[in-house]
Chains A and B, each alone.
Chain A
Amino acid sequence: MSTLITTRPPDRGWRLFVRTIVARAYPRVIGQQREKAWIFFETFLPFLATVGYIYVYRAIQAPEDYIGFVVMGGAMTAFWLNVIWAMASQLYWEKESGNLALYIMAPNSLMAILLGMALGGMLATCLRALVITVLGTLLFGISFAVSSYFQLFAVFVLTMAALYGLGMLLASLFLLWGREAWQIATALQEPVYFISGFYFPVKSFGFAVALAASVLPLTLGMDAMRQLVFASGPSLGFLSVEVEIAILSVLAVVFIAAAKFWLDFMERKAIEEGTLTDRRR
């Protein structure tokens, strides 16, 4: 009796890229199904924190659209946290747990691995954003006045592209750090909520500061979305939506290209020096 052994040719190019994303997302998605407590901690509790800011506006008798600003900001925190904790700091964690050497030895792209991690955490991210948006809208009677669905979709997609590009760029930088990586990730939360105007119009900063803050994709992304979604949005906007879309497009290209360059650089460095997997650094 003869045994037929079929061997599948190794994947290359975009096939390998996609399979890597799926392979890295898989354990994260499956792991989340094993214990559902995260749904409470990552959706309901952050919603309550967002509601806290809503009641601050109620206490100072703010116009109703500001309540909507808070809900949008609260929903967008989910994406920033996903970028910081599920993407940027992940290669550092993988170094700590000993997996990074395997990732670098494997013939796949580090960008695909990072995307897989982020996509694996996207279930929690989207659920959190959805819960905050839906519950916030229903409980506080937020009214939307969408002026252009097409522009809204474009702004969201470009913001996410630039944001995850930034996340990949940060991931390569996080590799350079040791214990301070954790502190840096923590320090990138509230300060970014503040600088990007998660809970108030970024126009309040004045032109120069708001322009400097625009290097973070969420600053312009949220400003444009507020202008497109709320009736009073255009009067509180920083730049016109068209200009913000153009800048977001540039940011997306720049961050993704920079991430590719830096990740390649780090990978080369790991091979040449054999130091990036050293946990003592």
Chain B
Amino acid sequence: MFKTFSRSFFPAAWLGWQIESNWTDPFLFLAFSIAKPIASVLILVFMYNAVSQAGPDSPIYSYIYLGNAFYIYVTEVMAGASFSILDDRERYRSLKYIYIAPVSIPIYLFGRAVARFTTGTIAVVITLVAGVLFFGVPFNPLGVDWPMFFAALALGIVCLAFMGIIIGSWTLIIRTEPWFVGEATAAALYLFSGAVFPLSILPVWLQPVGFLLPMTYWLELIRRALLGPGAAAFPTLSAFSNAELFGILMLIAVGFGIVAFVAYRYFDRRAREEGMIDAQSNF
């Protein structure tokens, strides 16, 4: 069991890191790693500045900035697993070899997600530093509840990795133009997770979708850990204590873990039956 884990997870994480980073020199890699997240946060900063006169002291500003910064993990980890399947199947055409190797594919995908987590962390840190230095995000490192922050971060990442395995498994059976599945799903969940606006802004009938998503509780915990009392300006989840939010997030993580297991079994069987392991969709 451990042997399978170690020969699936560690090489996958290392391979993922090499694929992500060794195509260029470290400086260019860093520049490309931050271009996308910095641009997406700048879009929101300029949207805010074009309209609002309140400036960066308004609670909604830090809400938007932090939510967007940490949502980078959703795109990287969740969409990354789906991307790993496509990278291996269509670009490097190595998925068939990985399939016949004595490794566990879900653990292999976990490993690839860890590589994306690493590149995501670089982007998140740079986005946060830029926020503090250039965009007036109120952040005091001494006021941060670091244990709570790291606990929430770890739990959220595990949950995102499970979601990534679900989408990655699904990607296995998609034949036509599957490149945007992961990113499109992450972008769509941006709407429901309260990442850049409080859920109470959504129509009442759409809000339950947000309450089913782990990102909603995860981002709330992250904001509470980083901003302290400043995070309580929005009433959506104010009725929940930190322990309750952790409990809910844990339950959702377990739920997604079970769904990921079932989804992988189902889509893997279908992919084998339909000859999709070595398929190519580029036409």
A27 interface contact, C-beta 8 A: yes
Structural contact, A34 and B176, CB atoms closer than 8 A: yes
Bits for A44-57, please: 1 = Cβ < 8 Å to B, else 0.
11101101110111
User: Among the interface residues A27, A58, A97, A190, which one has the most CB atoms of the partner chain B within 10 A?
Assistant: A190
Out of B175, B202, B282, name the residue touching A55 (CB < 8 Å).
B202
A193 to chain B, nearest CB (A): 6
A189 interface contact, C-beta 8 A: yes
List CB contacts (< 8 Å) of B130-164 with chain A.
none
Structural contact, A66 and B177, CB atoms closer than 8 A: no
A38 to chain B, nearest CB (A): 5
Out of A34, A182, A194, name the residue touching B42 (CB < 8 Å).
A194
| Interface-side segment among B99-107, B189-197, B265-273 | B189-197
Structural contact, B197 and A55, CB atoms closer than 8 A: yes
Structural contact, B39 and A190, CB atoms closer than 8 A: yes
How far apart are the CA atoms of A200 and B52 in the complex, in Å?
12
A262 interface contact, C-beta 8 A: no
Structural contact, A31 and B283, CB atoms closer than 8 A: yes
How far apart are the CA atoms of A32 and B32 in the complex, in Å?
31
Residues of B within 8 A of A57 (CB): 47, 51
Known: A63-B51, A187-B32. A52 touches B42 (CB 8 A): no
From B64, which residue of chain A is reached at the shortest CB distance?
A56
Out of A38, A179, A187, name the residue touching B35 (CB < 8 Å).
A187
Residues of A within 8 A of B178 (CB): 41
How far apart are the CA atoms of A53 and B191 in the complex, in Å?
8
B259 interface contact, C-beta 8 A: no
Structural contact, B64 and A37, CB atoms closer than 8 A: no
How far apart are the CA atoms of A49 and B40 in the complex, in Å?
12
List CB contacts (< 8 Å) of A1-53 with chain B.
27-28, 31-32, 34-35, 37-38, 41-42, 44-46, 48-49, 51-53
Out of A27, A49, A96, A204, name the residue touching B49 (CB < 8 Å).
A204
How far apart are the CA atoms of A128 and B201 in the complex, in Å?
25
B243 interface contact, C-beta 8 A: no
From A93, which residue of chain B is reached at the shortest CB distance?
B282
From B181, which residue of chain A is reached at the shortest CB distance?
A41
How far apart are the CA atoms of A97 and B283 in the complex, in Å?
10
Structural contact, B91 and A60, CB atoms closer than 8 A: no
How far apart are the CA atoms of A60 and B36 in the complex, in Å?
24
Q: Is the interface of A mostly helix, strand, loop or mixed?
A: helix
Bits for A84-127, please: 1 = Cβ < 8 Å to B, else 0.
01000000010011000000000000000000000000001000
Residues of B within 8 A of A198 (CB): 43
Known: A38-B176, A48-B188. A28 touches B283 (CB 8 A): yes
Residues of B within 8 A of A42 (CB): 177, 180, 184
Out of A35, A45, A61, name the residue touching B184 (CB < 8 Å).
A45
A62 interface contact, C-beta 8 A: yes
Residues of B within 8 A of A52 (CB): 187, 190-191, 195-197
Structural contact, A193 and B174, CB atoms closer than 8 A: no
Structural contact, B176 and A187, CB atoms closer than 8 A: no
Ordered by A's residue number, 19 sampled pairs between the chains whose C-beta atoms are within 8 Å are A31-B176, A31-B283, A34-B175, A34-B176, A37-B176, A48-B190, A49-B191, A51-B191, A56-B44, A58-B197, A59-B64, A59-B197, A60-B60, A63-B51, A193-B40, A194-B40, A200-B50, A204-B50, A205-B46
